[in-house]
Structures are given as C-alpha cells and as structure tokens.
C-alpha cells in the first residue's frame, strides 16, 4: 500500500503544511519557555545578593565614620520599631 499517494489517511497538502507549522510553533514555544525560565531564575539570584539590608547599610555608615554611635543606635531602634527615650536638651 502506498500511503503517500493514496487518499487512505485523509491528509492532503494542507494537513502536512499545518502539521509542519504547528511543530515549529511547538518547539519555538518550548525553547522560549526554557530561555524565559533561565532568565527569571538568574535574575532573582542576582537581585537578592546585590542589595544589602538596611541594617548592613547602617553598619557600614557607622564603620566608615559617617555617623556616630548615638545616631547609629537611634536609627537601629527606628528600623526595629523600638521606642526611643525622650532626651531633653
């Protein structure tokens, strides 16, 4: 039996063309999905490592001498939501 030239399976030129286009579209979507997933996962790791926490920024400023110990403690208390004692001048 010759399947290519007979009408036994019901597929003509349009059927084969549609099958080829859908196969290219399928593999294109699979490749696009893999690339998108790799980019998303890669971006997440860099953004977390690149941003220091507010406490780290405050500690660096204190270590560099940009703020004194009193201001460091006040800002640290403010970050943690602890109440500050009122000091009258």
pLDDT tens, position by position, 39-70? 988 876 555 567 888 899 999 999 999 999 99
pLDDT at 1: 46
- Reference 58, options 47, 68, 48; nearest CA is 68
Global pTM? 0.41
Whether 55 contacts 80, CB under 8 Å: no
pLDDT surpasses 70 at 31:
yes
The whole-number average pLDDT for the span 15-36 is: 94
Q: CA nearest 71: which of 62, 60, 80?
A: 62
What pLDDT is attached to residue 52? 86
> Percent of the chain beyond pLDDT 90?
46
> Rounded distance, CA 62 to CA 71, Å?
9
Helix (H, G, I), strand (E, B) or coil at 35: helix
- The encoded tokens of residue 56 equal 């780290």
Domain boundaries, the chain: 12-47, 52-89
């Amino acid at each position: 039996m010759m399947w290519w030239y007979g009408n036994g399976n019901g597929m003509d030129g349009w059927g084969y063309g549609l099958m080829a286009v859908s196969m290219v579209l399928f593999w294109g979507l699979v490749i696009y999905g893999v690339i998108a997933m790799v980019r998303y996962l890669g971006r997440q790791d860099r953004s977390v490592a690149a941003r220091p926490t507010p406490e780290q920024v405050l500690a660096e400023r204190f270590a560099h001498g940009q703020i004194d110990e009193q201001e460091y403690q006040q800002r640290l208390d403010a970050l943690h939501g602890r109440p500050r004692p009122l000091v009258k001048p």
